[in-house]
Amino acid sequence: MKFGLFGSAQAKRGGGPDVDSAKGYHDWLEFNIEAEALGYHSAFAVEHHFTGFGQVSATINLLTYLAAQTTTLRLGTAVMVLPWHNPVLLAEQAATLDLLSGGRLDFGVGKGYRYNEFEGFGIPMEEAGERFEESLDVLIRAWTKDEPWSHKGKFWNFKDIIVEPPTIQKPHPPFWMGAGNPKTIDGVAARGCNLLLDQFAPVKVILERIEMFRNAVEKRGRIFNPNEVGVARGLYVAKDFSDRDSAIERRIAARARVDNLAQRPDGANKSSIMSYDDTAETAMEAALFGTVDEITEKVSKLREGGVRYLLLSDGGSGIEGLRKFSREVMPVFIDSDTAEAAE
């Protein structure tokens, strides 16, 4: 199995002159630099805007700084929200990261799901799907065409352009897409993209989605590679049960805050990421919150269901949690992979 990370740095504004507003970003960088040394495979960072609590907005820039401080870590976006970006400028920025990092970019893309972000940018949320499709087409051409090309679309026009610099990964960095229902999962397979599954879905739902994706890939005559499905999960390595239970409570409160940012005034945001129940029981089931033994058992269950690539989101146990996980949980699953390969 492979274990990556998924999360956000934090830099809130308006803290006054005594507050080191860069600390959250530098802490996140240190965290990921050590994670690389501990054997983690990747760092995926979110893109969000106008949160009021300082989530990362310029994701590719932050990853570019991390690129300069690491050598093997894959650098992922989870996800860049295409409807908000000029696709050619985005292609240039992402290619620059891929080039500078020696081909380590994993390019997660999405349509966006938070209402307040679309409102903020003055872009109707209803256009998200069409904007996403148009931008994806432009991105692929920007990365693959060596001769001048033009584009006349609904939202963007480009004329006789060659987009520079080139990416290192050919034909282009892998695309990763979130999806949560049969139609969207089939769309990811149709595009030949990798799949990101969210951190709140129950395990049963995750395993069903992997199965759907496998079928969608295989019915197109391709070989399904389980490394091409990244499953996000919250991680909290608890000292004991009571420590674990407090962490679960904090997790539920944090999620309610994000749901408020995402919801539309009419309550009509039907994004699958907002459709799950959110109780201590469901949170405990979905998240890797618990003692080392409990977490090992949860990872085991995911592995048996076909999960090979976990993206861990720190639920508060911080770098010490990552260290424990890498020492006490990872080796169990690296051994089991080796045993399987030897069979």
Residues lying near a second copy in the complex (CB under 8 A) are found at 11-15, 17, 21-22, 25-26, 49-52, 54-58, 60-62, 64-65, 67-69, 84-86, 88-89, 92-93, 95-97, 99-100, 102, 116, 119-122, 146, 156-166, 168, 170
User: Which string of DSSP letters, residue by residue, matches 52-115?
Assistant: SS-B-S-HHHHHHHHHHT-SS-EEEEEEEEGGGS-HHHHHHHHHHHHHHTTS-EEEEEE----H
State whether residue 279 is helix, strand or coil.
Answer: coil
Question: Among the residues of the chain, which ranges form H helices?
Answer: 23-38, 59-68, 87-100, 115-121, 128-144, 182-191, 203-218, 241-262, 280-286, 292-304, 318-324, 330-342
Q: How far is the CB of 62 from a second copy (least distance, A)?
A: 6
- Report the 10 Å Cβ neighbour count for 246: 13
Q: How far is the CB of 319 from a second copy (least distance, A)?
A: 20
State whether residue 158 is helix, strand or coil.
Answer: strand
Q: How far is the CB of 119 from a second copy (least distance, A)?
A: 5
Q: Which is nearer to a second copy, 79 or 231 (CB)?
A: 79
Q: Which two three-digit tokens encode residue 326?
A: 């890498």
Q: Which is nearer to a second copy, 88 or 195 (CB)?
A: 88
Q: Which is nearer to a second copy, 85 or 324 (CB)?
A: 85
Q: Which is nearer to a second copy, 105 or 195 (CB)?
A: 105
Q: How far is the CB of 4 from a second copy (least distance, A)?
A: 21
Cα distance between residue 78 and residue 183, in whole Å: 20
Question: What amino acid is encoded at 254 in this protein?
Answer: A
Q: Which is nearer to a second copy, 49 or 131 (CB)?
A: 49
What do you get for the CA distance between the two ends of the chain, in Å?
16
Cα distance between residue 260 and residue 279, in whole Å: 17
State whether residue 186 is helix, strand or coil.
Answer: helix
Match 């690539």 to its residue by tokens.
Answer: 309
Q: Which is nearer to a second copy, 164 or 249 (CB)?
A: 164
Q: How far is the CB of 260 from a second copy (least distance, A)?
A: 14
Q: How far is the CB of 73 from a second copy (least distance, A)?
A: 14
Q: How far is the CB of 189 from a second copy (least distance, A)?
A: 28
Cα distance between residue 201 and residue 308, in whole Å: 17
Q: Which is nearer to a second copy, 99 or 140 (CB)?
A: 99
Q: How far is the CB of 310 from a second copy (least distance, A)?
A: 28
Q: Which is nearer to a second copy, 17 or 221 (CB)?
A: 17
Q: Which two three-digit tokens encode residue 290?
A: 């618990």
